[in-house]
A = this chain, B = another copy of it.
Amino acid sequence: MNREQLLACQNRIKPYIHKTPVLTSRLINKMAEAEVYFKCENFQRMGAYKMRGATNAILQLSEKEKAKGVVTHSSGNFAQALSLAAQSLDVKAHIVMPSTAPEVKKKGVIEYGGKIYECAPNLEARNAAAKAIQEETGATFIHPSNDKNVILGQGTACLELLQEYPDLNAVFAPIGGGGLIAGSALAAFYFGNECRVIGAEPFEVDDAYRSFHSGKIETNATTNTIADGLKTELGDNTLPVILKHVSEIVRVTEAEIIASMRLIWERMKIIVEPSSAVALAALLKDKKKYKNQNVGIIISGGNVDLEHLPF
């Protein structure tokens, strides 16, 4: 995943995604004692940065592969992203979802033209279901975070941010499966001006923090966090990039996540999902290190269930 591949990816997906705005808030700058630039992927198509990676992965398939469709397993934003990206490119999307997935997520997939296959809510059932679909249909499996084309796609959000603000001293992004942070770290390494990349993770699912320190993929025994997009674990493509190019991983409490989410909603008047608030929470926690610096925050998405808010 080199500099040229990242630029090529940006050009490839440009017609299918939004160039999202960068917003600022005087009050948050005051609180953080820094100049903070929010890259608003909550305004991305289908409401999250995942649209970027999904689009890039499908565009990299041959015509023959495209004709056979794509398959993934996801209970979250990637299921909807792959469905919408596939629909935009006239490709069939097969989505394996646990039977326990919320109705609102299933509805989203169906609305974007994805075909849902329900499975038991465990890793084995999920993998078996995806495997069966691949064998039956010849569809190409696309992993939600550990696929190199997905990583490159996710990195274009940070790339756009750095093209607009080349002098950022640091960029914060949340870590779930690691696609966003790995892509952001590559973008900062190739296009930043000594820009550090910091991962933000809930204490409740701190597998990436532990992986970062042990050097191998760690797992979570429990996932009791409001940041539902960050429950997944790193993969063999994301971990090496993170180990090499991420400066630090900062963990935050659930209360810190909710307070940051509320701050963004009340002061910036934009809707962000809890996972996005994790990144601001990490900056505010560690703000001494970034005093008077220029800091980017990747707002990963804005898909929340309005009936289950933490306020």
* A contacts, CB < 8 Å to B: 21, 42-43, 47, 262, 265-266, 269-272, 302, 306-307, 309, 311
Contacts and interface: CB of A to CB of B under 8 A. Distances in A.
Contact of A271 (B21, B43, B47, B269): B269
B309 A269 contact: no
Nearest to A104: B266
A217 to B, nearest CB: 33
8 contacts: A43-B269, A47-B269, A262-B306, A265-B271, A269-B271, A269-B272, A270-B270, A306-B309
A302 B43 contact: no
Nearest to A42: B269
B306 A265 contact: yes
A116 to B, nearest CB: 21
A269 B270 contact: yes
B266 A306 contact: yes
A43 B268 CA distance: 7
A24 to B, nearest CB: 11
A286 to B, nearest CB: 26
A311 B305 CA distance: 10
Given A47-B269, A265-B271, A265-B306, 8 more contacts: A21-B21, A43-B269, A269-B302, A270-B270, A271-B271, A307-B311, A309-B309, A309-B311
The 6 A-B pairs at the shortest CB distance, nearest first, are namely A269-B302, A306-B311, A269-B271, A42-B269, A307-B311, A270-B270
Contacts of A272: 269
Nearest to A45: B26
A307 B310 CA distance: 9
A307 to B, nearest CB: 6
Contacts of A306: 262, 265-266, 309, 311
A272 B270 CA distance: 9
A227 B265 CA distance: 19
Contacts of A266: 306
